[in-house]
Structure 1
Amino acid sequence: MAPNSRIILTRHAEAEHDVDLDYSIPDAPLTPLGKKQAATLAPQIPQLQNEADLIRLGIENVICLPQVQECNDLPCDTGSPREVLEADPEGFWAADPQAIANRARWVRQWLRERPEKTIVLVAHGDIPRNITAGPNGPSTYPWKNAEARI
């Protein structure tokens, strides 16, 4: 990890599955409110303002990391599976507590090895609780839509 690094964990903005708790919607798009939440997220984090323009200009620097997918096995959280995942939906990607803990450990290690000084990780609401888990396990705090923590 680069000296003086910052990791900003963020829950995605409101999506269609959040409104009526309809977890059967695969790849649920953002609602109009969710689009507003996403647009106003950067100004809510003053420390991110200098990086915000770089992020918009440097879209090639975006890394999509499947290891930070949500912890549930609901269609709205798993998205469209790849052929490899269809062949082996369990193991590393499973929704059981041990597999989730292993995946969260992998993400923490991956973040430690990154050279960037500022990393913004956007995910669903449950996996950040596991990534930030302490010795007593993950927090039970429910992350709000478009919530960010440094």
Structure 2
Amino acid sequence: MPTYVHLVRHAQGFHNLCAENHALPDPDLTPLGKEQCAQLAKTFPYQAQLTHLVASPLRRTIYTCLLSFEPALRAQDSSLAKRAVIALPEVQEVSPLPCDTGSDPAVLAAEFGQDGQAVVDLSLVGPGWNDKTTADSPFAPVMERLEARARRARRWLRALGREYEAAHPGRDAHVAVVTHGGFLHFLTQDWDGMNPDAGTGWANTEWRSYEFVEEEDSEGEARLRETEASWRRRRGSATALTETEQMEMRCAVEGHLRQEWGNGEDKTQA
């Protein structure tokens, strides 16, 4: 059975309002952002099928997940394997700006709780998860490291789906993942619509559905492919980028990373 991964960009945060707000540490959702979540909760068609909820550990992504998928969390007949949002550091945002740097684990624990009734599972959020500036940090905005953690995230999601399917023969896994506009391009390996200056081609609370490519690959990429229904819903009969065009867009993003942060290349490997 396939594992379906429904990828969602977070709702509007205060850092989305103006460039000056990029200095806000781990900002909250705006009132409009909360309205966007309410709308997504009403219109997302797979609430009843969801088996897992996953979110970046930043506050705006956790709250987007809690608000947007509240119907699945509270439904008594929900298919959710665990009634908790799993916070996954690998799907945090790209940049080291304060707005894209998460809070310390103790701060998150105080806000979202760590007891047996916690709605957010923070067990994967350890010390150093929000370090994007140390030279050897796996979360630094370096192209190779961004691609490596996107790979780790895909492999983790694939394993999550396989574990569910093994325990529930004949049932599909449906995993909703709330993450960030910039990182979504790394996670999907799809640069279509990417605007390097804006940092993404995804709108707030935009969602797309994916499944894993069946064939195993020697690099362990665990590649995702957008479902035909998802593509038709948002693009109709439009043609996807060619492989060459994808590579050109990736190179543009790498150049932007180098220009912005001065470390588009992983010089620590030299």
Q: Which has the higher contact order (CA 8 A, sep 6+)?
A: 1
Name the residue aligned to 1:142: 201
- Provide the TM-score with structure 2 as the length reference: 0.49
Q: How does 1:1-150 map to 2 (within 5 A)?
A: 3-21=1-19, 22-51=21-50, 52=69, 53-56=71-74, 60-81=83-104, 83-85=127-129, 89=134, 90-114=136-160, 115-116=163-164, 117-133=173-189, 138-139=191-192, 140=194, 142-150=201-209
Residue range with higher mean Cα deviation, 122-131 or 81-90: 81-90
Residue range with higher mean Cα deviation, 72-81 or 57-66: 57-66
CA shift for structure 1 position 88: 7.5
Q: Which runs of 5+ in 1 are unaligned?
A: none
Residue aligned with 1:93, SS: coil
**In structure 1, what residue type is equivalent to 2:102?**
G
- Provide the TM-score with structure 1 as the length reference: 0.84
- Of the two, which has the highest radius of gyration? 2
Contact 2:147 2:186 in 1 (8 A): yes
* Root mean square deviation, CA, Å: 2.4
Percent of aligned positions that are identical: 34
Structure-1 separation of matches of 2:83 and 2:48: 19
**In structure 2, what residue type is equivalent to 1:95?**
P
Q: Which runs of 5+ in 2 are unaligned?
A: 51-68, 106-126, 165-172, 195-199, 210-270
Residue aligned with 1:10, SS: strand
Residue aligned with 1:107, SS: helix
Residue aligned with 2:175, SS: strand
Cα deviation, 1:78-121, whole Å, max 9, x if unaligned, reads 12245535597343111111110000000010011013411110
**In structure 1, what residue type is equivalent to 2:128?**
V
**Matched residue pairs, number?**
145
Cα deviation, 1:7-62, whole Å, max 9, x if unaligned, reads 11000000000011321111111111000001111332213355453323567431
